[in-house]
Structure 1
Amino acid sequence: MAQTFAELVIGGVLFAPFVTYLAIALIMIIALRPLLHAVGFAKMFSHAAIAEMSLFVTVLGLLILLV
């Protein structure tokens, strides 16, 4: 039995479920940024932007797997 995915409809345009997961992951990372700043996340890595991007990709992957 195949799993059906609910598309996001905005103004009559259908968006793939990936776009919804992408938006949720972005909101989660934006909400986590103050906490990451408070614990010194940027100081743990030589290139903080790449570390934050990899955290975003990890959150996105977990959303796709768990939903």
Structure 2
Amino acid sequence: MTHPFSELVVGGVLLAPFVTYAVAALAIFLVLRPILRLSGFARLFSHPPIAELSVYVTVLGLLTVFF
């Protein structure tokens, strides 16, 4: 079974599906970020920006695997 990759067309330029996944992951992360701040996520780590980056990469990986 093969996975059909559909390219995103912006102004006649074909973009790889990974670009679509990266933008979708960014949108999901921006929704999750206030929730993480309210839950005290930053206090659990010595360097919170790296922890937030890891959340973004995890969301991006999950989108890539499941879609």
Partners of 1:30 and 1:50 lie apart in 2 by 15
CA distance in 2, matches of 1:38, 1:2: 41
Q: What SS is found at the alignment partner of 1:14?
A: strand
Q: Aligned residues: percent identity?
A: 57
Runs (4+) of structure 1 moved beyond 6 Å?
Answer: none
CA root-mean-square deviation = 0.8
Q: What is the deviation of 1:56?
A: 0.5
Aligned partner of 1:63 in structure 2 is 63
Who is 1:19 aligned against?
Answer: 19
Name the CA distance, whole Å, in 2 between partners of 1:42 and 1:32.
Answer: 13
- Alpha-carbon distance in structure 2 between the residues aligned to 1:60 and 1:39: 22
Unaligned runs of 5+ in 2: none
What stretches of structure 1 of length at least 5 have no aligned partner? none
Aligned residues between the structures: 67
Q: CA deviation at 1:8?
A: 0.3
Give the aligned residue type for 2:64.
I
Separation in 1 of the partners of 2:34 and 2:45? 17
Give the structure-1-normalised TM-score.
Answer: 0.95
Report the Cα distance in structure 2 between the residues aligned to 1:2 and 1:31, rounded to whole angstroms.
32
